[in-house]
Amino acid sequence: MAGSHKSNLILRIEQKKARVGIIGLGYVGLPLMLRCCEMGYPVIGFDLDQNKIKKLCQGKSYIEYIPSEVIQANLSKFEATFDFSRAAEADVLILCVPTPLNKYREPDLSFIVKTMESVLPYLRAGQMVCLESTTYPGTTDEELAPRIQSRGLIIGQEVFLLFSPERIDPGNLQFSAHNIPKVCGGFTPNCLEVGVKFYSHIIDKVVPVSSTRVAELTKILENIHRAVNIGLVNEMKIVADKMGIDIHEAIAAAATKPFGFIPYQPGPGLGGHCIPIDPFYLTWKAREYGVHTRFIELAGEINAAMPNYVVSKIIFALNSKHKAVKQSRILILGIAYKKNIDDSRESPSIVIMEKLHQLGAQLSYSDPHIPVFPKIHDTIFDLSSTSLNAEALKQYDCVVLATDHDLFDYQLIKKSAQLIVDCRGRYSEAHDSIIKA
């Protein structure tokens, strides 16, 4: 009987009769849902945000780089709901929920735990359950497995539990849900077999690993690699600035070496839902094993301090024009955490704005991807994006290039702004009105 659950589920997957349930329809879950639809699987999308559900049912997208036309093309292939009882209808359940840090900078697994407990009454034999949310090694084994077992279900025989980390890069047109290799780890070999079979039908390449813990560590290692290297170039930027050297020129020259060097670009700090947060999941878990993760924490300190560095450069720039920060009109260019997307989570631009506000600056922002300042931020800003033209730019005492969207007219900005603080290295030439930060 145990073998029949696995073989029946694999058969349904192969015949594309398996119904896929995706929980959490954000930057990870929505692209995955659409990919499953495109590959011929019926899908139920779950989210607690009723506004998202309403928009999806109307064929509207709420993520900028996913056109509404793509939603409309797949309307007949998915259902969107906030009714978690319908999890019983799904043969494959994929959890794509947030994993933030709490106020003590410790892992907050409440979204994972609450989601699992919401679907727990509706779990049944013959289902695959996969967590895609980035988390510390052991989460799947320690948090999900016991809850499934509490239902009397045998993992590996009746229910097939996996961890397969999301690797989405929002706004990246070269890599999307289907062509980023999919790491997959199972709670048991049977779980892995089912997971590989499913993901191989929707992802171009599947990379099986020996356990859920290896898969969990893989994703955190990827993000730590970026966080540490970005921390390194951010520190090098400060050193280079003191020496009067353009760090961007040095990085470009170093990148000509065909081996042994990977170019990372400095900036005003780290943002997004992954790199500023995920490394601290491992830092927290490592303490359980008596390990102090010094590289991770040092990189975190450097990256978290970058907004202060930018503010100090803004103060210096204004002083060079015999102006104080207080009452100065400052325009922030870009509040998304990286260029060409509409996501401002953990954005260093917001931190810079908060610090400048505390110093008495009069703030505006311009971001072609974020027309209204997002309400998700616990700030006092009630702003809309400013349109850029020569006359408007001339009105500001300082323009801060925080996020270098391709839609900005950099020649117009250079020609019209009184003073520019460039955090992204877009202006390589020396100029009296341009300060590198």
The length of the chain is 437
pLDDT digits (tens, 9 = 90+) for 317-367: 999 999 999 999 999 999 999 999 999 999 999 999 999 999 999 999 999
Tokens 């830092």 locate to 283
pLDDT, averaged across the chain: 95
Amino acid of residue 327? Q
Q: What is the pLDDT of residue 428?
A: 84
Tokens 């006092």 locate to 380
Q: What is the pLDDT of residue 2?
A: 58
Handedness of CA 172, 237, 434, 344 (dihedral sign): positive
Whether pLDDT at 104 is above 90: no
**Is-contact 364 329, C-beta < 8 A?**
yes
The neighbour count for residue 174, using CB atoms within 10 Å, is 7
Query: If you write DSSP's letter for every residue of 33-91 in order, what string do you get?
Result: HHHHHHTT--EEEE-S-HHHHHHHHTT--SSTTS-HHHHHHTGGGEEEES-GGGGGG-S
> Which CATH code is given to the segment(s) 2-215?
3.40.50.720
CATH architecture of 248-436: 3-Layer(aba) Sandwich (3.40)
pLDDT digits (tens, 9 = 90+) for 227-284: 999 999 999 999 999 999 999 999 999 999 999 999 999 999 999 878 888 899 999 9
Coil vs helix vs strand at 338: coil
Q: Which of 80, 182, 86 lies closest to 130, judged by CA? A: 182
- Residues 36, 130, 184, 274: which is the catalytic one? 274
Token couple for 272: 């997004």
Number of H helices, E strands in the chain: 15, 13
Q: Which of 142, 144, 149 lies closest to 125, judged by CA? A: 149
Of 36-50, 290-304, 342-356, 420-434, the poorest mean pLDDT is in 420-434
**Is-contact 349 332, C-beta < 8 A?**
yes
Could you tell me which residues come within 8 angstroms of residue 165 by beta carbon, excluding any fewer than 6 positions away? 132, 134, 183, 215, 216, 218, 219
- What is the helix (H) or strand (E) element at residue 254, kind and residue range? helix 247-254
Q: For residue 1, name the pLDDT band (cuts at 50, 70, 90).
A: low
Q: What is the pLDDT of residue 386?
A: 96
**Partners of 410 in the β-ladder:** none
Percent of the chain as helix, strand, coil, to the nearest 5: 40, 15, 45
pLDDT digits (tens, 9 = 90+) for 418-429: 999 999 999 987
The neighbour count for residue 429, using CB atoms within 10 Å, is 7
Q: Which of 136, 131, 113, 133 lies closest to 283, judged by CA? A: 136
pLDDT digits (tens, 9 = 90+) for 187-228: 999 999 999 999 999 999 999 999 999 999 999 999 999 999
Provide the residue ranges of all domains of the chain, joining segments of one domain with +: 2-215, 248-436
The question of whether 57 is a catalytic residue gets the answer no
Q: For residue 432, name the pLDDT band (cuts at 50, 70, 90).
A: confident
Domains 2-215 and 248-436 fall in the same CATH topology: yes
